[in-house]
Amino acid sequence: MTKVSRRNILKGGAAFAAGSTLGAPMIWAQNIKDVTLRQFGTGVSNLNDVANKVKEDLGFTLEMTALDSDSVTQRAATQPNSFDIADIEYWICKKVWPTGNLQAMDTSKIKNYDKIVGIFRDGKLTPTSTIAQGTAPHTVGFVEGPGGKEFVDNESGWMTLIPTIYNADTLGIRPDLIGRPISNWSELLNPEFKGKASILDISSIGIMDMAMVVESMGEYKYPDKGNMTKEEIDLTIGIFTEAKKNGQFRAFWKSFDESVNLMASGEVVIQSMWSPAITAVKSKGVPCVYQPLEEGYRSWGGGIGLSAALTGLERDAAYEYINWYLDGWVGGYLMRQGYYSAVPETSKDYMSENEWGYWFEGKKATDVITSPTGDALAQAGETRDGGSFEERMGAVACWNAVMDENQYMVRKWNEFIAA
């Protein structure tokens, strides 16, 4: 089989797939069974359930490796031959793309491309939205062509990452131990919670949470939180170093499990947290709220990128996988954990009306809401913290980012930890 003929088959296949709701078996089904794709990424979406479902629906093998954000960046930048598919965040993409280890993807092969939410295309959730600070996904989402090195500011038809998963993060609190409403980021440094606060020890994300707090305290208004000057970094970390010396923090956390334990054990009552960590605390029967705050959310988005070394049948399989990913099953799975899918409408088919109403529309649950693993997360009558998709994603104040002064920031961060 030559490349040309395979491409023709692919076109035929794509047209055929477009006609059915499921990724239907392809003409090269016999060959594709032997394909193994190696995917690596952060723990959030590297789920064995997904790999199993891929084998079932598409026939090929997906090997998953879950690493922390730093290791993911490191591997994508330094070991291009160790993976076929990189499941990374957009700010990691900004760091890794210049190495040439990833290849741009042809959006005409993505059948649900037109249904991808605006955030990942022109940056706007609705036509009237303003774009938040930081590394907004659409700013690093497109390049001018297959070999493009520079990001472009329009929908060029060549995507760096196909968006898969994203969410709006905020502070997690223990309402039972705080006993009053919390509505501002500045509460993280409120002396009332001395020795009971925590922040995450991942510099690139932690600095953004810090900036949200500093701005909320009225100490400083950043022109762009996602790209601070050295003076702004000094100021931000200075305020937190002061708080650390005064004993504000109980601990810092680096892994998901640590944040869950700190919160569930009551060591910490207010801290930076990720959505599934809230879910995990709740499923232990401990009250925990993902508190919406006046200043808005710190958001992040992840997507799938293809290794530059990927060609031929493997690349076809990868496109097949991406189309399947956006087709709804994974989206439904992720949305039932509290994340959002890049193509929400396809996920609807894989969720019950109650689940869709609770997770996406911000409606009251009409029945018990369970996680994909079966733990009860909410009872009938409860609503999701922060409300509907539009309310949550529409209130994003900044995106996770990588700064021009990144190395300086990292050194300052190390000093903060050692202070």
Partner 1 sequence: MLKHNSFVGWLMALPIMAVLVFFLVLPIIMIVTVSFWQATEFSIIPAFDLENYEFLFGSNVTYRVFFNTFKYAFITWVFTLGIGFTVAYFLAFHVRSLTWQIVLFLLCTIPFWTSNIIRMISWIPFLGRNGIANSTLISWGVIDEPLDWLLFSDFAVILAFVHLYTLFMVVPIFNTMMRIDKSLIEAARDAGASGAQILWNVIIPLAKPGIMIGTIFVVTLVMGDFITVRFMSGSQSANVGRLISNDIALLAYPSASATAVVLLLTVLIVIGIMLRYVDIRKEL
Least distance CB 270 / partner 1 (angstroms)? 14
**Cβ of residue 249: shortest distance to partner 1, in angstroms?**
7
- Shortest approach of partner 1 to residue 317 CB, angstroms? 28
If the CB atoms of residues 6 and 75 are measured against partner 1, the closer one turns out to be 75
In the complex, least distance from residue 90 CB atom to partner 1, rounded to whole angstroms: 16
How close are the terminal C-alpha atoms of the chain, in Å?
62
In the complex with partner 1, the residue whose CB is nearer, 153 or 404, is 404
Nearer to partner 1, 94 or 124 (CB): 94
SS3 track for the chain:
CCHHHHHHHHHHHHHHHHHCCCCCCCCCHHHHCCCEEEEEEECCCCCHHHHHHHHHHCCCEEEEEEECHHHHHHHHHHCHHHCCEEEEEHHHHHHHHHHCCEECEEHHHCCCHHHCCHHHCCCCCCCCCCCCEECCHHHHCEECCCCCCCECCCCCCEECCEEEEEEEECEEECHHHHCCCCCCHHHHHCHHHCCCEEEECCHHHHHHHHHHHHHHHCCCCCCCCCCCCHHHHHHHHHHHHHHHHCCCEEEEECCHHHHHHHHHCCCCCEEECCHHHHHHHHHCCCCCEEECCCCCEEEEEEEEEEECCCCHHHHHHHHHHHHHHCCCHHHHHHHCCCCEECCHHHHHHHCCHHHHHHHCCCCCCCCCEECCCCCEEECCCCCCCCCCHHHHHCCEEEECCCCCCHHHHHHHHHHHHHC
Tell me if 44 sits within 8 A of 67, measured CB to CB. Answer: no
Binding site for partner 1 (CB under 8 A): 68, 70-71, 73-74, 77-78, 95-96, 98-99, 195, 198, 201, 203, 244, 249-254, 261, 265-267, 406-407, 410-411, 414-415, 417-419
Nearer to partner 1, 27 or 417 (CB): 417
Closest contact distance (angstroms) between CB of 411 and partner 1 is 8
Tell how strand 158-159 and strand 270-272 pair up. unpaired
Q: Is residue 273 packed enough to be buried (19+ CB in 10 Å), middle (13-18) or exposed (0-12)? A: buried
- Cβ 334 to partner 1, closest distance in Å? 27
- Compute the chain's Rg from CA coordinates: 22
CB of 235 vs partner 1, minimal distance in Å: 18
Between 8 and 414, name the residue whose CB sits nearer to partner 1.
414
Nearer to partner 1, 244 or 363 (CB): 244
- Contact 171/271 with Cβ under 8 angstroms? yes
User: At closest approach, how far in Å is the CB of 3 from partner 1?
Assistant: 30
249 vs 358, beta carbon nearer partner 1: 249
CA 419/CA 308 separation, integer angstroms: 42
Judged by beta carbon, residue 257 or residue 353, the one nearer partner 1 is 257
Q: Which is nearer to partner 1, 96 or 343 (by Cβ)?
A: 96
Of 165 and 269, which has the nearer Cβ to partner 1?
269
Minimum separation from the CB atom of position 267 to partner 1 (A):
5
CB of 405: closest distance to partner 1 in angstroms? 12
